[in-house]
Amino acid sequence: MENFLLDLVLLSEKRTNVLLLLLEGPMDIETIKKTLNASATSIQPQVKRLKEHHLIVQEKDLYKLSEIGRIIADKMKPLLDAFSVLEKNADYWAERDMNEIPPFLLRRINELGHCTLIEPQVDHIFEMIPEYVKNAEKAKRLEAAIPYFHPLFPSFYLGIAEKGASVSLILPEAVLKRWVEDYGEQTKKFIKMKNTKLFVCTDCERIPAITAADNFMAMALFPKDTVFDRKYVTSFEPGALLWGKELYDYYERFSERIRDTDNCRCKISLKLKSVPVTRVCDAEYKMENLKQKQLQTPSQAP
């Protein structure tokens, strides 16, 4: 019986779509046809089969899910949504280290919905990604975990805060060290603002780059086998915004708030004498990236 219902539901895209559509509420056959952009001859036989096997019931001219049908449709929707998320950017997900996403969120990856992939263009490889900048500058609330160093970040996030947005940042110790040493005045100014928070996270060198804002979500995972390439998946769907917020909050719970750069400078220097920083855009990163390209074939180059 179980295998039969599985085949009945999943081996027909039309039957699957009818069940998912009726999750929204009872509908007549004309509404079902119009919504699914299908003809009567293609839909009515599928509706009949679902009715015969007690997954939908008919009340006058309306069709609705039976109790069994609702249980199946409720369980089926997250699975199909997860397929949709992973299939659209299958190569990206397959090549990324997903171990730093906590299991309770990984199980709900379907909530990301429609995602697009953004990445630096070759002719602007050491600049910030324009699509990211555009969305971040529109945010009224922005929370970000930043596992890599970029020399434009201190002034960029300070600028967003100066426009009135609420900004919270999580940095690994090695990245915070670079901010404090090389961009001390900007970092101090950021910390002193009423609408900002700065956190340091220990053992966070390979956490995802996370941006959880009120208008978009972005996440860049570390590749499994190559150098960090700043390829982000982004989404604007309400479920994705909440998912991204939960991921940010997860790492904030393991972080310590920085209220004074002078006090944190000594602590960081004691811990990080030999810890490398994940870099973009500085001279050392350019040399590392050039060496990687020279070692790779054109088809393997990131």
Give me the helices (H) in 232-273, please: 238-252, 261-271
Residue-wise DSSP of 250-261: HHHTTEEE---H
Intra-chain end-to-end CA distance of the chain, in Å: 49
pLDDT digits over 236-257, tens only? Answer: 999 999 999 999 999 999 999 9
pLDDT digits over 38-53, tens only? Answer: 887 888 889 899 998 8
User: Would you say 207 and 175 are in contact if contact means Cβ atoms under 8 Å apart?
Assistant: no
Residue-wise DSSP of 39-89: -HHHHHHHHHHHHHTTSEEEETTEEEE-HHHHHHHHHHHHHHHHHHHHHHT
| Half-sphere exposure at residue 163, Cβ-oriented, CA atoms within 13 angstroms | 15
Which residue numbers in the chain have pLDDT < 70? 1-3, 263-302
Q: Two tokens at 31? A: 């509404």
Q: Two tokens at 1? A: 């019986």
Q: Two tokens at 55? A: 């997954």
CATH number of this structure's domain 2-78:
1.10.10.10
pLDDT digits over 61-91, tens only? Answer: 999 999 999 998 898 888 889 999 999 999 9
Dist. CA 234–CA 220, nearest whole Å: 9
CATH superfamily name and code, 90-295: Endonuclease Chain A (3.30.870.10)
> Which sequence spans correspond to the domains of the chain?
2-78, 90-295
